[in-house]
Structure formats: C-alpha cells, structure tokens
Chains A and B, each alone.
Chain A
C-alpha cells in the first residue's frame, strides 16, 4: 500500500499544475487535487496497475470537476482578473504575468471539454488515447475538441495584434 501512496505522491505536482491551469485559483485548484487524492485513496482497490496511475488520477479529477461544474453552472464568472494575479505561483516578472493572464483568459473562452483536452495534451503530455479514457469519449471526439480548442485559441491570441503572447517566442 505505501508503494501506491509513494506513486500517488509523485503525481501530485502534475495534478496541481493541471488543476491550477483549469481553475486558475490556487485554493480552489488545491481543493480539487485534495478531493481527487482522497477519492483515489478510498478507491485504491479499483486501480489496475497495468495502466498509467497519472491518467487514472486525471480521470478521477475529471469526474469531480465535471460534477462541480454542473453544480456551479448557474454561477458564471468565478474568477476575476485580480484574483488571477493574486494566485501567481511564484514571484513572476511582468512578461510571465502577461502571458499567464493572456493564456488564462483565452483558455476561459474555450468550452470546458476543449480546455481540458488541450491542457491534458499540451501541459501534461497525455496521449490522445489517455485523454479519451479520461473523458470517456472516443478518440475522434478528443481530436475534434483539440482541433477546435487550437483554432479558437489561435484566433484569440494571434488574431489580436496587441497580443502579448508573441513575446514568449
């Protein structure tokens, strides 16, 4: 059993990173991670060591997140720009701040499913098949969500001539 816990502990930085990008609020993101860890540990007997533990944890997190979103669907505008600045992970220079705000604001424009696909792929490096398992959809759905997410993000970030996103090249 401690082996399982040690492996889980190794996944926590990645879970936090993904949750932060998804929620963009430090406390709420860590709440999501904690709920995910608690559920994973209480269901550890359902875990099959043949697969990727990290992908399994993302699946659990996805289900919790989806439930929460359904519950909160009547309360839009959860995070203000001021709060986003306040949740920056580390002393960031001005460029980082702008990038985070730009990317975060652009990600907000995507549907929840699209945002998740893009973050799992681009930030967490999950394979398309793993993302399909996390969202419990066919791989074709993952590809079309990814495609739409990138198209939309491209229009938001590159379409705006004043966009700061170009700075990070």
Chain B
C-alpha cells in the first residue's frame, strides 16, 4: 500500500472493511469515501458481506466442542479412523461379554466428572476449616506423602506451588468412589486456599484438562492413567488454569 495519503487504492478499501488499517490511514480512506460515493457504496456492500458471513457461521464457535476434538495431555493415541475401528471393536467385544457402555463411548466422561464433583465437595468441606484443615501437616511432608501413596497404592507427588504464591499446608485421606483419595491443601499469604485432589479411577484413562464451575468454586481436572486429579479454588478460570498447568508439569516430571 502506498504511503501517499491522497492515493487510495482498492487494497485500502478492503483493509478498511477488514479493520486492518492504521488509524491515520483509516482517516485518509474515510475522507476519500466522502468524496467518492461509488467506492463508499462498494465498502458498504463488502461490510454487508462480512456481516452476512458472521451471521451465518459465527455461532458455530459457541457450540460445545465434541468429545472427539478435545486434545489429550499426551496427544491422541489413534488417528480418527483407527479410533472408530477401536471403538467398534470395543463395542463388539462388549456385546459379546455382556458389557457395554463403560468404554470409550461415554463412561469416561461421567467418571472424570464424578471425580471433579467429589473434589469440589471435599474442597467445600475442608477449605473453610480453621482448626483442622488437614490431617497431616506439611511439617511432616515426607510422612504425609508416604502414607497417602501407600493408601492409594500409587506413587503420589506433591507439587511445589511456592512459585505461584501457595504454600503446602498438608493433606488428608478421603473416601471416594473407587476407594481412598487424597487431598492436599495449599494457602497463599492472604489465607486463600486451594486444594489438589487425587483419586484412583476404575479404568485407566487419559483425558484433556477440563473445567467445571460450581458457584464461586472452579475446578480443573484430568485423568492421567490410573489416577485422576482435580485442582480446586475460588479464583478466575485463567488463574486456576495457570495452577493446573504448574501442577501437571510437576506431576509429569
């Protein structure tokens, strides 16, 4: 595009319609349009086209994303066709064994959502505790981790969130659907508490990060093989997402 403010070309008109002009240039083009009604009519027509395209397809972005399009923490294990073939095979196997519905076709979602529900419920109960927020305090962290790992029969790790401003207070053992679960509680300098929930799950699965909001409380949760995790807190979603990311990174190491 030319630097000459008086020479307006067709590219300038497109750029005006698409909001791709710098302020100064835009003012020059708008001045030009006042003196050139044919170009002004063209611009109006193009704007109407943009609006029509947005009206026809804009709402697609607000639809819930189908399960098959959610990225998993370790990437998709199968291509699309193999996944279809796999779920078909699973379906047939299930029909033969009299076992349907717990596989890739719907059981998974319910399983991780139930985990999130339990994690939120546990957060509600214990995060407000003044005197007994945890069973075993962080001062005894080694024992805490050993004990909970033993009960969950899984090598648990406790993420260090000090970089994010949260210090470990301690943890507790909880009862869950599939047996024992663990809750670790953290607190920031303002006394704001978050909890990390870890529970065995009935079937090994890996899922993407998912988010759930229950009133003021938000939860990011994911399944990572034999164990599912949820990080719970009362904060805006992006802040909680940052924490989920830190937790995931440390658990993966």
- A residues near B (Cβ < 8 Å) are 1-3, 5-6, 8-9, 12-14, 16-17, 20-21, 30-31, 33-35, 37-38, 41-42, 89-90, 96, 99-100, 102-104, 107, 118-119, 121-123, 125, 127-128, 143, 146-147, 150, 153-154, 157-158, 165-166, 168-169
Contact = CB atoms under 8 A, between A and B. Distances in A.
A3 B248 CA distance: 10
Contacts of A42: 75
B80 A20 contact: no
Interface residues of B, number: 45
Contacts of A31: 80
B96 interface: no
Nearest to A168: B55
A70 to B, nearest CB: 19
A153 B50 CA distance: 11
17 contacts: A1-B73, A6-B209, A9-B70, A16-B61, A16-B65, A17-B58, A21-B56, A33-B69, A38-B79, A89-B60, A99-B55, A104-B56, A122-B49, A146-B14, A150-B49, A158-B48, A169-B48
B169 to A, nearest CB: 25
Interface string B225-253: 00000000000000001001100110010
B249 A99 contact: no
Of the candidates B56, B70, B79, B208, the one having the most CB atoms from chain A within 10 angstroms of its own CB is B56
A166 B53 CA distance: 12
A147 B18 CA distance: 12
A14 B61 contact: yes
Interface of B: 10-11, 14-15, 18-20, 45-46, 48-63, 65-66, 68-73, 75-76, 79-80, 208-209, 241, 244-245, 248-249, 252
A122 to B, nearest CB: 4
A25 B154 CA distance: 45
Give the residue among B20, B53, B76, B252 with the most A Cβ atoms within 10 A.
B53
B156 to A, nearest CB: 19
A123 B10 CA distance: 20
Contacts of A107: 53
Q: Which among A2, A21, A100 has the greatest number of chain B C-beta atoms within 10 A?
A: A2
B52 A20 contact: no
Given A12-B69, A16-B61, A38-B76, A165 B52 contact: yes
A154 B68 contact: no
B65 A12 contact: yes
A154 B48 CA distance: 9
Contact of A128 (B15, B50, B54): B15
Contact of B51 (A12, A17, A168): A168
A161 to B, nearest CB: 15
